[in-house]
Amino acid sequence: MKHTFEANKLAVSVRVVLVEPGVEGNIGFLARAMKNFGLRELCLVEPKVGVGAVARAFAMHARDILDQAISVDSINEAVKDADFIVGTTAVTAKRALNVKRTPITPAEFAKAFSSIKGKVALLFGREGSGLTNDEIDKCDFIISIPTDSTYPTMNITHAATILFYELYKATRKGKAKHVTEASGAQKERLIKYFTNLVKETGPPNHKRRIALRSFRNVLGRSFVSSREATTLMGVYKRALQRIRGREKGKQ
């Protein structure tokens, strides 16, 4: 049951609230991003455009989210049953005293998300001006994505996608298929096979040393699995047998 809950947590616990959307394509793209990462509930506050053919085209295979989306007249209505209200903004505090605009990152929010119980409303503001100070006052906290100072404001749907990804990743921790890393002994055997293979190809000693050092570097930077190490050893072993067999045939 625990796995079922984790798999469905984003769908049942998170409501995406888009405030006064004015670009139909953004509504569709937002629905698509939501479905990519397991979110289902979309609420539009005073939309300035309809959810028509353009939105549905951008949504692609997430049109069911558009079909189920609701429109309301105010943020209060959109968050009335939410246990946590989370705002998003590109405008952060420039002074430590401005606690209202002091944000956390998507990764920090995702880390805390697993311990949150109840309904979470994620507020995304207007395309041109974001959320007002009064709307941010309604939030328990706000999230901002660190960006380059030369162009700090992201498209709202791009920012939402980053946040959705971080949440999805946090709920999926521990579910990836377990991969056994190669042991130290396996790595040493793999290096031995590679060393013998290099010797058989007959490069000068200095090039042989460089090749061995390069192989060790690559092996050290990678997280080679036990299966991968075994496969490579098999390939090197067969290569050595063929080279040595040909050398014997020439004698």
Q: Establish if 92 belongs to a structural domain.
A: yes
In a domain, 111, yes or no: yes
Q: Are residues 23 and 69 in the same domain?
A: yes
Please name the residues in contact with 47: beta carbons below 8 A apart, sequence gap of 6 or more. Answer: 18, 20, 21, 27, 71
73 and 131 belong to one structural domain? yes
Q: With left for phi above 0 and alpha for psi between -120 and 50, is residue 185 left, alpha or beta? A: alpha
- CATH number of the domain that 89 lies in? 3.40.1280.10
Is 33 within a domain?
yes
C-alpha atoms less than 13 angstroms from C-alpha of 172 in its C-beta half-sphere: 10
Contact 182, 190 (CB under 8 A): yes
187-197 as b/e: b if 16+ CB within 10 A? bebbeebbbeb
User: Is the domain of 92 the same as that of 188?
Assistant: no
Do 156 and 193 fall into the same domain? no
Helical H segments across 86-203, by residue range: 106-113, 133-137, 156-171, 184-201
Range of the domain at 27: 2-171
For the stretch 71-108, pLDDT in tens is 999 999 999 988 888 899 875 544 444 444 568 899 98
Examine residue 177 and state whether it is found in any structural domain, yes or no.
no
- Return the percent helix, strand and coil in the chain, to nearest 5: 55, 15, 35
Residues 6+ apart with CB under 8 A from 235: none
Residue, of 194 and 103, whose pLDDT is higher: 194
The rounded Cα 79 to chain-centroid distance in angstroms is 26
Domain boundary among 137, 171, 205: 171
Number of domains in the chain: 2
Predicted pLDDT of residue 185: 85
Does the pLDDT of residue 42 top 50, yes or no?
yes
Q: Quick one: pLDDT at residue 250?
A: 61
User: Is there a domain that residue 70 lies in?
Assistant: yes
Whether 53 and 30 map to the same domain: the answer is yes
Same domain, 118 and 64: yes
In this structure, what DSSP letter does residue 126 have? B
Residues 103 and 227 both lie in one domain: no
> Do 229 and 138 have their domain in common?
no
Mean pLDDT of the chain: 84
- Residue ending a domain, among 111, 146, 171, is 171
Same domain flag for 229 and 144: no
- The residue from 115, 140, 171 where one domain ends is 171
Q: Do 15 and 38 fall within a single domain?
A: yes
**pTM, entire model:** 0.68
Q: How confident is the model at residue 251 (pLDDT cuts 50, 70, 90)?
A: low
The predicted-structure confidence for 136-190, as pLDDT tens digits, reads as follows: 888 888 898 888 888 888 889 999 999 999 999 988 764 545 567 788 888 889 9
